[in-house]
Chains A and B, each alone.
Chain A
Amino acid sequence: NAGVMQNPRHLVRRRGQEARLRCSPMKGHSHVYWYRQLPEEGLKFMVYLQKENIIDESGMPKERFSAEFPKEGPSILRIQQVVRGDSAAYFCASSPFQLAGGLLSSYNEQFFGPGTRLTVL
């Protein structure tokens, strides 16, 4: 039972190029979260997606960043026209379908991938 997979593990881009980060959730998981970890910082929530639907993008920068989770295939975090400040580790987490109701049972664990380290030259 493979865990959450992210690729590439390391990505180097020059300023102005596009970066595409991929996340394959665990089998059976239909929810994906993206987090960004800047150097010497904790992880910051970016976006939460279900298949074909963005649930919460309150943590996404307003420009250049977009995310999708298509019906088939991995979730993609796309950064257009990268700048040096985008250099960070990007983590993806997945969780299974969230059930409504049942106060103490309604939490679904987030399983983290190994991260993609983006370096912008």
Chain B
Amino acid sequence: AQKVTQAQTEISVVEKEDVTLDCVYETRDTTYYLFWYKQPPSGELVFLIRRNSFDEQNEISGRYSWNFQKSTSSFNFTITASQVVDSAVYFCALTPLPYSGGGADGLTFGKGTHLIIQP
């Protein structure tokens, strides 16, 4: 069984502050992928990043950065110098690598963190 926990239900910060969204996961699979998605108020899902379990390098993309730590089963997401347009619900998700015998190929999502950036 897999599980993704996003303990922060809602975070509110003032624009230009840095903010970190936590994601902790549980899986019995040795190979898997982790994801972050953004869901703006319009409702669609926007893919942000995919990281495989073999690669623990941190990644930076503009104001976004991700910290993957296998030892603590965490995949945290940091937004630097937040902007009002970053306001959205952010989901962390997990899936086993296909054909690894890990079960359903569907993504397992956390409950999401509602990020509010105040001007």
The answer on a CB contact under 8 Å between B97 and A106 is: yes
Q: Is A84 an interface residue when CB atoms closer than 8 A count as contact?
A: no
| Set B33, B37, B98: member contacting A98, Cβ < 8 A | B98
Question: How many contacts between A and B, using CB within 8 angstroms?
Answer: 73
If A103-B97, A104-B52, A107-B33 touch, does A45 touch B107 (CB 8 Å cutoff)?
Answer: yes
Give complex CA distance A41, B112 in Å: 7
The answer on a CB contact under 8 Å between A110 and B107 is: yes
Give complex CA distance A89, B106 in Å: 17
The answer on a CB contact under 8 Å between A115 and B44 is: yes
The contact size tier of chain A is: 20 to 34
The answer on a CB contact under 8 Å between B43 and A59 is: no
Please name all residues of chain B whose beta carbon is closer than 8 Å to the beta carbon of A42 when the two chains form the complex. Answer: 4, 6, 91, 93, 109-112
Please name all residues of chain A whose beta carbon is closer than 8 Å to the beta carbon of B4 when the two chains form the complex. Answer: 42
Proximity bits, B72-115, A CB within 8 Å = 1, else 0: 00000000000000000001010101110000111111111000
Q: Is B16 an interface residue when CB atoms closer than 8 A count as contact?
A: no
**Interface residues in chain A, defined as those with a beta carbon under 8 Å from any beta carbon in chain B:** 33, 35, 40-46, 48, 55-56, 58-59, 89, 91, 98, 100-101, 103-104, 106-112, 114-115, 117
What are 30 of the A-B contact pairs (CB < 8 Å)? Answer: A33-B106, A35-B106, A35-B109, A41-B112, A42-B4, A42-B6, A42-B91, A42-B110, A42-B112, A43-B45, A43-B93, A43-B107, A43-B109, A45-B106, A48-B105, A48-B106, A55-B105, A58-B104, A59-B104, A98-B98, A98-B99, A106-B97, A106-B98, A107-B33, A107-B95, A107-B97, A109-B50, A112-B37, A112-B45, A117-B43
